[in-house]
Amino acid sequence: MSTDASDLAAPVVAPPGFFLETVRTVHHWTDRLFSFTCTRDPHFRFTAGQFAMIGLMVGGKPLVRAYSMVSPPWEDHLEFLSIKVQDGPLTSRLQHIVPGDRVLIGRKATGTLVTDNLAPGGVLWFFATGTGLAPFMSLLREPGTYDRFDRVVLVHTVRQAAELAYRELISKDLPAHELLGELVRDRLTYLPSVTREPFARQSRITTMIESGSLTADLGLPPLSPERDRAMLCGSEAMNADVRALLEARGFTEGSNSSPGTYVVEKAFVTK
Ligand code: A2P
């Protein structure tokens, strides 16, 4: 399916429930992965870690999927990370957007990967596979995250190193950032891992948890609900497997009404 230019340029008025925003930049990481930034309506409010319905007008109707915001709430623009699926109804089109195109942003943001859903704790672990990294990019640039936890560890696992999106930003730009630099340098640890080609850390998240290398490599005691908190975002299989490992160690799932020691959300867009 190719993009019909009229689909991207057509709507002048946002359909009910959506903001109509303008694409500013597009970055293609690999042939399976891209990200883009767009303008942000001042009325669009969200908490770091949340998602909104994002998409395009197709055939005069909104075609949208859930996307986590990559950008932190304090940024004046929005950023999203997406896979590209050649026959995916939305991403086959969305991957062709260029600066100036219009995108739909659902007015209401929601989601469970918010720090309020976790009891305060010592170490906050972000476990991400693939585009499941998105909500953590927002959370790790939100100063409030560091108010509630002593330390933040981001574990991002992908098949190939080229899929380690935002690697430079996390490891080089953020530590040098004027406002966030000190927090990030002192409190954030980034553990990228790759499973299908040689890499310094070549392992699935589940394997690192089961072997204990995850915590041992950082000189930390084994994962425990006493002091650790976890947020999971990845494929259904990864979420289910990590959830089981955490529950076996006594972690309980948190929600809006009752904060717990872990929360989970799937990386939504698979088409
Ligand atoms: P692997 O290469 O060993 O399958 P995908 O692109 O399929 O979503 O996978 C992204 C990353 O998540 C890959 O590194 C993949 O490892 C890993 N992964 C897939 N399934 C699981 C799982 N059940 N538990 C842990 N990691 C997983």
Per-residue pLDDT of the chain in tens (271 residues, 90 and over written 9)? 444 544 555 556 889 999 999 999 999 999 999 999 999 999 999 999 999 999 999 999 999 999 999 999 999 999 999 999 999 999 999 999 999 999 999 999 999 999 999 999 899 999 999 999 999 999 999 999 999 999 999 999 999 999 999 999 999 999 999 999 999 999 999 999 999 999 999 999 999 999 999 999 999 999 999 999 999 999 999 999 999 999 999 999 999 899 999 999 987 766 5
Distance from the CA of 166 to the center of ligand 1, in angstroms?
A: 19
| Domain ranges across the chain | 5-106, 115-264
Given the candidates 2.40.30.10, 1.10.10.10, 2.60.40.1180, 3.20.20.150, the CATH classification of the domain at 5-106 is 2.40.30.10
Q: Is the CB of 130 under 6 A from ligand 1?
A: yes
Query: C-alpha angle with apex 98: 96 to 103, nearest 5 degrees?
Result: 85
Q: Is the CB of 267 under 6 A from ligand 1?
A: no
Q: Model pTM?
A: 0.94
Q: Is the CB of 204 under 6 A from ligand 1?
A: yes
Query: Which residue has the CA at smallest separation from atom 18 of ligand 1?
Result: 238
Q: Provide the pLDDT for residue 2.
A: 45
Q: Provide the pLDDT for residue 7.
A: 55
pLDDT in tens, 213-266: 999 999 999 999 999 999 999 999 999 999 999 999 999 999 989 999 999 998
Burial-class residue 232 by CB neighbours within 10 Å (0-12, 13-18, 19+): buried
CATH code of the region 115-264:
3.40.50.80
User: Which of 29, 157, 264 has the most ligand 1 atoms within 8 A of CB, as the residue to mutate?
Assistant: 157
